[in-house]
Amino acid sequence: MQTVAWIWSLMFMAVIAAVFLWVAAGASKTGAEKPDPTPAYRWRDRLFWAVIAAGVALTFGTLWDWPIAGHAAAAPKPDVVIRAVGHQWRWQLDRDTVKVGELVEFEVTASDVNHGFAIYHGKNRIVTQAQAMPGYVNKLRVRFTEPGDYEILCLEYCGLAHHGMRAVIKVRAGS
Ligand code: CUA
């Protein structure tokens, strides 16, 4: 999807650039404009192309890889896959116990409306979160480093009992 959007953007930009150059080429042919004799005018063309070159350099110089890891085909296979479905108003997990150090992949989705799947350690420390959306699966990878009971709460207001959406993931010391 991202690649498609990128290709379309490039094609759109190429069309805009072509129209721009065509207009610029046509404008110089009319000869209606008299050159301004001031010295500043002579720098105008050079300044124009310098700005264009700087813009192109800046655009390509600031491109970097997508910062969210774990979605690439080359990513390691998870040790545990847990399907997490948000419902009004509860979390449905097909498994609730994992071991410290395991690579856990949550397949986060929803059956009715958008929910926010958030894993907490302790009262106020959020470990990670993802949107739970109907018709779409968000893969959320976590490697728990400390044993304990991790609470799952909802971070997206989803109706009357939104605050009551709670579940627990039990992380046990590895064998
Ligand atoms: Cu589910 Cu808020």
pLDDT digits (tens, 9 = 90+) for 100-110: 999 999 999 99
Between the CA of 55 and the centroid of ligand 1 the distance, in Å, is: 44
Strands 103-110 and 97-99: unpaired
Cβ pair 118, 126 in contact under 8 A? yes
Q: What average pLDDT does range 66-83 have in this prediction? A: 75
Query: Which tokens belong to 17?
Result: 């650039």
Any idea what DSSP says for residue 34?
Answer: P
Collapsing DSSP states into helix, strand and coil, what is residue 104? strand
Q: Which residue puts its alpha carbon closest to atom 1 of ligand 1?
A: 115
**pLDDT value for 68:** 62
Mean pLDDT, the chain, rounded, equals 88
- If pLDDT is split at 50, 70 and 90, which confidence band does 69 have? low
Q: What is the dihedral of CA 152, 155, 159, 165, to 10 degrees?
A: 10
Going by C-alpha positions, the residue among 165, 158, 117 that lies closest to residue 141 is 117
| Per-residue pLDDT reduced to its tens digit, 130-175 | 999 999 999 999 999 999 999 999 999 999 999 999 999 999 997 6
> How many angstroms is it from 111 CA to the middle of ligand 1?
12
Q: Which atom of ligand 1 is nearest to the CA of 113?
A: 1
H-helix or E-strand spanning residue 19: helix 2-30
**What residues are in contact with ligand 1 under a 6 Å CB criterion?**
86, 89, 115, 154, 156-158, 162, 165
Q: 98 CA to middle of ligand 1, Å?
A: 24
Distance CA 65, CA 62 (A): 10
Instruction: Write down the residue that tokens 């709670």 correspond to.
Output: 166
Closest CA to 139 of 175, 103, 98: 103
Higher model confidence: residue 34 or residue 156? 156
Taking only the tens place, the pLDDT of each residue in 37-60 is 677 777 888 899 999 999 999 999
Please tell me the distance between residue 85's alpha carbon and the centre of ligand 1 in angstroms. 11
d(CA 2, ligand 1 centre) in Å:
28
Strands (E), 36-110: 80-87, 90-93, 97-99, 103-110
* Structure tokens that stand for 77 in this block: 């296979």
